[in-house]
Structure 1
Amino acid sequence: MFHLFGRAYAFLAPRRGFLLVLCALACFACSLFVSRLVVREDISTMLPDDSGRIASDFALLRLAPFAQRLTITVSHAGANPTQAAEALATALRRESVFTRVLTGPPSNISLTFLTKLLPLAPALLTEQDTKTLYALTDPEHVQTALEQNRRDLLSPGAVALKKVIRQDPLGIRKIVLPKLAAPSRLADVRIENGHFVSRDGNHALILVDTDIPMTDSLGAAKVMSSYEKAVAALPEGAQAMLVGGHRHTHVNAQAIKDDLAIILPSAFILLALIFLLFMRNRQSLYVFLVPVCVVGVAGTATALVYGSISGIVLGFGAVLLGISVDYALHVYFALQNSSADENHNPAHTLTQISPAITFGALTSCTALAALLVSDIPGIRQLAVFSLFGIIASFFMSLLILPHFITAKTGRGTSTIPHNTRKSFGAAPLITLWIAVLSAGIWFGQHTRINGDLRAMSFTPTEIQAEEDATRTIWGSMRDLALIFVRARTFDDALEKNDRVWSFLQTHNATSPIISLAPLLPAMQTQLQNISRWKAFWQVNGQSAFTRLETEQKALGFSRSAFSPFAEFISASPETISSESLHELGIQEFVDVLAMRDGDDFLVLTLLPDTMKNAALLSDYTERELGAQFVSGSRFRELLGGAMRIDVLRFSGSALAGVVLLNAILFRNPRKTLLALLPIGMGVTTVLAVMYSFGQALNLFHIVSLPLIIGLGADYGIFMVCRSEQSAHHQTARAVLFSGLTTLCGFGVLVLARHPALHSIGITVLTGVGTAMITALWIVPALNGDRR
């Protein structure tokens, strides 16, 4: 099979010029295509996209009240912050990307609002409220209430209060008022002149909605640009702090773009320096062009498969530059140092070295292909990008590069003699492997895994400080846990929501609990409440009205003073709908806590993200209630567990494939263990370093492990195969240069600000560096190879 590469060389040799032109055009086209790619960043590409709990939780978290909403805090030293907030709000409303800008409650809330509360009472009368109703109709309270009404009617604001008092002289609206608080505790605010203001009066709050998803990097850039434009409208001395997912997305996308502007050129420069300082050969330019072309080919192929490409994946191009040059270097050194006689012509040399290169490429592809089993689309895209790059590098190195490399002149036909010594027996190798495996298992079990998405994103100090300040001023409104219920009809969703509310009240869940249930229960619950209302007035109505008429006459009220109240009590009570709340001017509460998701209706409850609340909402309880509990802490826990499984799945699949390929290639247990030693040393070193510095593994550390396995396997294969090859192939030199170029590719990622790229860089730099040292010095020593 490996003779095919020699035959391909013979076939293509007369067509060298045509081959050069064809390759140049293809690489130029691919490079041009990649340069015009739109780089997209969406955090959802770094989360599982299967039908599992993590994907479901993240989808629901994106529906949380403040997931799409921007929170702006305005302050103005020495002046009223509401005026500055209104100026900013006016400017924000002029920007088309913002669909709604709120600076306070709806303007139609006034004293007439109080007259609309009494009609809600029958449908909201719980069993506990019945006790309040008894107290409100108690003779002592009736007297006290009417005396207060009389004083109010003699006050300057009597005209506005008259209608309220006539309709509700006993203050039954007090049953409804506390229920308004249940869905309105999203922030620690007070209302001042129609504006949301902090308790100390030094800050004003603006809530801004947009239709642009917070995970869309291009859309987030538009949002931030519009915001910056509007901020210019603030009066001198006023300041604004913005907190929202769009800002995070924009900052991360910008950080990746800035990193790419440094990483890719730096990788090219370092590779060029290595070639100039150590190779000093005009033909080495062709070797240098291989990774340059490979990045273009891999980027084009990946973009054609997915339609776009992630900035993190494109940043991995620096790594691919270092990896993809490996096979070209082995071909270069083998052909450069081969003799010119018929026994060692280029075709013969390619046939000799192709088994090691082929199995090296296969092990790398096997290790990287393990990433394809991931449920995370971003990792699969990275795997596809890398696989295309490895495959392109393999074929370019064996089919195209040999036509531009010639042997050095002045060399004889004899091979260079090399010193050998008896190899160590199996016992030292097995002992070393036991030690490596034991250390790897121990460090692996004791190294933490961090599933927090914030550990995978770039958060500048300024943004963190403003988020902390916002949390201090307005409370933890963006950090609440959520309970979602889903149904095909709105009333069915409300019925499930009622069960959730009742469960939380019964089990004394940690407060405050923000729910729609007290204000908008399901129809069945409302009918039960109305039945309770009717039963109360049937039994107690006559005596209550007798007391009312007695006190009414004693205090000088007219006979018809409270006739609207009597008419209401005798009338048939009405049920409540979301339209009823809209007429009250509090539709905002409904919009926040109830929504459509496709053909389904969702209703949510918010509550503190505490261990007690999480324990209450177990999987069994969720099934019983027909609800789903979602919180940041539980999501991080689930993601961490999934990442731990991915570690085993990625590493296990990669290692199993690599071991199988090594066993097929060497068919000798001792040589197989020798070739695998760089892998064991590299992975163990990474885990030991992470543990020693108290660092937790994040998603991108985990993604890097198959890379270490693949590259470590390459180095091991080449060095073990070296003992069976002629010395003039200079395998050790090729491995050294391969290691250096790879370390350059990874090394520049350490310069990245974005944690994703930095994590990949630091992990593989450590692992591959150790694997290279092991392959160059420990493997030959154990194999008795003294060259």
Structure 2
Amino acid sequence: MHRFFIFLYYLISKNKLLSVFFSVGIAILCLFFASKINFEEDINQIIPKNEKSDLTAKVLKQLNFSDKIIVIIENRSKEENFQLSETADAFLNQIEPLQKYIGSVQGKVNDSEISETFDFVNQNLALFLNENDYKEIERKLQKDSIAKQVENNYVSLVSPTSLVTKEFIKKDPLGITFLGIKKLNALNISKDFKLEDNYIVTKDGKNLLLFIDPKNKSNDTKNNETFVNQLNTIKENLNTKFKEKTEISYFGSPVIAVANAQQIKKDIQNTVIISMTVLLLILIYYFRNVFTPIIVFLPTVFSVLLALLILYFVKDKISAISLSVGAILIGITIDYALHILTHYKHNNNIEELYKEITQPIILSSATTAVSFLCLVFVRSEALKDLGLFAAITVILSSVTALIIVPQLYHPKKKEKAVNANFIDKIGSYPYEKNKPLIIICSIIIIACLFGFRKVGFNEDIGDLNYIPKDLKISEAKLQKLSDITSKSIYTISYGDSEEQALTRNSELSQFLEKEKKEGKILSYNSLGNVVLSEKDQQQRIENWKKFWDENKKNQTVSELIKNGNQFGFNSSAFDQFNENLNKSYSTLTLKDYEKVKALQISEFLSQENGFYTVSNVVKVDEKKRDAFIKNVEKKHDALA
């Protein structure tokens, strides 16, 4: 093995200028391809995966709740009648140029959306009613109940709000539609808010919330970074404009993901710079010159560039977390150059030098590289990339050190005697002869054998995230306002077709309702009673037909007309209601539900490459959490 390096040494020595150009050319080539590498900045890449977690990752990739940015507009004004909507309007105007990053903005409800939702439920009423609703309708159909309802309708129509209520009463004089609309409450993530000036505000009116749904997923930090930076600029401008009136802050996983990505890059840069600076200072102090430490670092720099070149052709993208090992690699890889340099210092014969050090250095780097390569067999993508990058760098650093160091370092034949420094003294001290030190070390080792079992590990995967101080403040604000940021359990039904996913979710929704009644969960939000499978829709249509027989229809309309005449209603006032009773209902498709903007179906239901997921949000007591998760996954085709 050493003969090859001896041959290379003489070859390079005879062609120094050509070798320099060749080395610079390789370095430029490596830098070019290294700049083309697609670095993945997703912190979740460090999480191990198995068959179940692969399915979990596939499901979570389609989970839309977690990708929102929550905008908090807080009232800081001393004026009693200050409107938060003024700041909200200004904010919405400011983000208009950012539409290429924004899928939608929720939090402002238009009157047209309210009418649209009412009409949708009214026109498909049979699909929104369950057995309990029919019991309530039966009560409403009593003669005295109809008389009372018609009287209430008359009072509403002659009041100042008649412009709003007129159309609702005309379409549904008995208010049956509102029984169906109640089902939409199951889609509300929180009940701690109200509508004011068409915006969602807290019940005390002091905070207004907007929800931005970015077009890019939260782990797409490359595109989201520009978006988040521009949002921060808008926030600062509006906070200055509305100083002492309102304050805007943000919270959400896309913002946290960008903060994580920026912190990862910053940490890598800082650790590498700090380690290189400290090592350079130590080496300069030890060797008493600047040139020698630079020689020591050259093989490491070259091996890192070559490793990145190889990785470019081996992998499509690399986890940025894998580069965090850079500071450690510097410490490991400069050892090879130091070994060569130290041996060369005491043995000026180049052939003897290679005979002595080639095999030990190659074997040493090989064993270290194999240790890192073991990470390739773990199920964490980030650790796989780290292991591959570190192994390639280590093995290449030993080879480049054997080539570069003997070429650039030439020890003087007669070294001047120099005073030993503290590093020499530390290195030359006979530790093995110090009995008190041996006893102390032995005691520490024995103590560790008894104590290592008591070491605890943080099992909260959320602590992987780096959350800046301003985002922690925003999170604390939200926690005071609502349970919207509290830890929820997502129960997700999935399937290879829309029908399969919806059928499974209907079963899961019934289970969640049962768990809530038994007090095993606190609350849940689900599509289960709103978007039904075709089979369940057909069943509800049959229930409607069974309930509304011809006799009941005629009797109900007759009672409405009779009581309406007493208040001056003409006979045609109830024609539209009569049409709804006699219409032939049909099943709806997912596209029909998605047309109604206020339903926000896309928040719960997602589809990608023929894989469908339906999400539910469950709030459960911490003590009952594990039992609930096991119960869901055991009894249903769902993930929790």
Name the TM-score class by shorter chain: 0.7 to 0.9
Q: Could you say which residue in structure 1 is the equivalent of 2:2? A: 5
Paired residue total: 608
Q: Could you say which residue in structure 2 is the equivalent of 1:220? A: 224
Matching residue within 336, 339, 356 for 1:327: 336
Q: Which amino acid aligns with 2:524?
A: I
Give, in angstroms, the shift of residue 252 of structure 1.
Answer: 2.4
Q: Which amino acid aligns with 1:18?
A: N
Matching residue within 94, 112, 125 for 2:129: 125
Q: Could you say which residue in structure 2 is the equivalent of 1:90? A: 93
1:369 maps onto 2:373 in alignment: yes
Give, in angstroms, the shift of residue 445 of structure 1.
Answer: 3.4
User: What SS class does the counterpart of residue 67 from structure 1 fall into?
Assistant: helix
Matching residue within 125, 137, 140 for 1:136: 140
Give, in angstroms, the shift of residue 483 of structure 1.
Answer: 1.8
**Alpha-carbon distance in structure 2 between the residues aligned to 1:392 and 1:583:** 59
User: What SS class does the counterpart of residue 213 from structure 2 fall into?
Assistant: strand
1:522 maps onto 2:530 in alignment: no
Give, in angstroms, the shift of residue 43 of structure 1.
Answer: 1.7
Q: Could you say which residue in structure 2 is the equivalent of 1:352? A: 356
- In structure 2, relative to structure 1, the CA distance for the partners of 1:63 and 1:8 (3 Å cut) is closer
Q: Could you say which residue in structure 2 is the equivalent of 1:337? A: 346
Kept in 1, the 8 Å contact 2:67–2:218? The answer is: yes
**Alpha-carbon distance in structure 2 between the residues aligned to 1:322 and 1:552:** 90
Q: Could you say which residue in structure 1 is the equivalent of 2:272? A: 264
Give, in angstroms, the shift of residue 480 of structure 1.
Answer: 2.7
Q: Could you say which residue in structure 2 is the equivalent of 1:179? A: 183
Give, in angstroms, the shift of residue 151 of structure 1.
Answer: 1.9
Query: What per-residue deviation string (whole Å, max 9, x for no partner) do you get for residues 41-83 of structure 1?
Result: 4225624575533343244334333322221112342421111
Give, in angstroms, the shift of residue 598 of structure 1.
Answer: 1.4
- Structure 1: 5+ residue stretches without partners: 412-418, 630-787
- Structure 2: 5+ residue stretches without partners: 416-427
Give, in angstroms, the shift of residue 501 of structure 1.
Answer: 0.7
User: What SS class does the counterpart of residue 188 from structure 2 fall into?
Assistant: coil
Give, in angstroms, the shift of residue 475 of structure 1.
Answer: 3.0
Give, in angstroms, the shift of residue 371 of structure 1.
Answer: 1.2
**Alpha-carbon distance in structure 1 between the residues aligned to 2:404 and 2:113:** 77
Give, in angstroms, the shift of residue 327 of structure 1.
Answer: 1.6
**Alpha-carbon distance in structure 1 between the residues aligned to 2:26 and 2:287:** 24
Q: Which amino acid aligns with 1:305?
A: V
**Alpha-carbon distance in structure 2 between the residues aligned to 1:582 and 1:534:** 26
Give, in angstroms, the shift of residue 241 of structure 1.
Answer: 0.9
1:236 maps onto 2:242 in alignment: yes
**Alpha-carbon distance in structure 2 between the residues aligned to 1:276 and 1:64:** 54
**Alpha-carbon distance in structure 2 between the residues aligned to 1:173 and 1:308:** 53
Q: Could you say which residue in structure 1 is the equivalent of 2:422? A: none
**Alpha-carbon distance in structure 2 between the residues aligned to 1:491 and 1:110:** 28
Matching residue within 138, 155, 158 for 1:154: 158
Give, in angstroms, the shift of residue 546 of structure 1.
Answer: 5.9
User: What SS class does the counterpart of residue 108 from structure 1 fall into?
Assistant: helix
1:495 maps onto 2:503 in alignment: yes
**Alpha-carbon distance in structure 2 between the residues aligned to 1:14 and 1:559:** 108
Question: TM-score, length-normalised on structure 2?
Answer: 0.84
Q: Which amino acid aligns with 1:244?
A: G
User: What SS class does the counterpart of residue 205 from structure 1 fall into?
Assistant: strand
- In structure 2, relative to structure 1, the CA distance for the partners of 1:174 and 1:320 (3 Å cut) is same
- In structure 2, relative to structure 1, the CA distance for the partners of 1:289 and 1:258 (3 Å cut) is same
- In structure 2, relative to structure 1, the CA distance for the partners of 1:449 and 1:159 (3 Å cut) is closer
Give, in angstroms, the shift of residue 187 of structure 1.
Answer: 6.3
Q: Could you say which residue in structure 2 is the equivalent of 1:564? A: 576
Q: Could you say which residue in structure 2 is the equivalent of 1:254? A: 262
Kept in 2, the 8 Å contact 1:182–1:515? The answer is: yes
Q: Could you say which residue in structure 1 is the equivalent of 2:42? A: 43
User: What SS class does the counterpart of residue 450 from structure 1 fall into?
Assistant: coil
Give, in angstroms, the shift of residue 121 of structure 1.
Answer: 2.6
- In structure 2, relative to structure 1, the CA distance for the partners of 1:177 and 1:132 (3 Å cut) is same
Q: Could you say which residue in structure 1 is the equivalent of 2:72? A: 73
Larger mean CA deviation between 89-98 and 33-42 belongs to 33-42
Give, in angstroms, the shift of residue 100 of structure 1.
Answer: 2.0
Kept in 2, the 8 Å contact 1:91–1:230? The answer is: yes
**Alpha-carbon distance in structure 1 between the residues aligned to 2:220 and 2:595:** 35
Matching residue within 586, 589, 599 for 2:598: 586
**Alpha-carbon distance in structure 1 between the residues aligned to 2:113 and 2:414:** 97
Q: Could you say which residue in structure 1 is the equivalent of 2:616? A: 605
Larger mean CA deviation between 265-274 and 590-599 belongs to 265-274
User: What SS class does the counterpart of residue 523 from structure 2 fall into?
Assistant: coil
Kept in 1, the 8 Å contact 2:502–2:532? The answer is: yes
**Alpha-carbon distance in structure 2 between the residues aligned to 1:351 and 1:583:** 78
Within a 5 Å distance, the mapping from 1:431-470 to structure 2 comes to 436=445, 442-470=450-478
Query: What per-residue deviation string (whole Å, max 9, x for no partner) do you get for residues 454-482 of structure 1?
Result: 43332221111112212322432574322
Q: Which amino acid aligns with 1:147?
A: E
Query: What per-residue deviation string (whole Å, max 9, x for no partner) do you get for residues 152-195 of structure 1?
Result: 23323445534433432222123212111111335632112221
Matching residue within 287, 303, 307 for 1:294: 303
Kept in 2, the 8 Å contact 1:30–1:297? The answer is: no
Kept in 2, the 8 Å contact 1:135–1:141? The answer is: yes
Give, in angstroms, the shift of residue 200 of structure 1.
Answer: 1.4
Kept in 2, the 8 Å contact 1:485–1:604? The answer is: yes
- In structure 2, relative to structure 1, the CA distance for the partners of 1:547 and 1:600 (3 Å cut) is same
Kept in 2, the 8 Å contact 1:481–1:608? The answer is: yes
Matching residue within 201, 204, 211 for 1:200: 204
- In structure 2, relative to structure 1, the CA distance for the partners of 1:25 and 1:495 (3 Å cut) is same
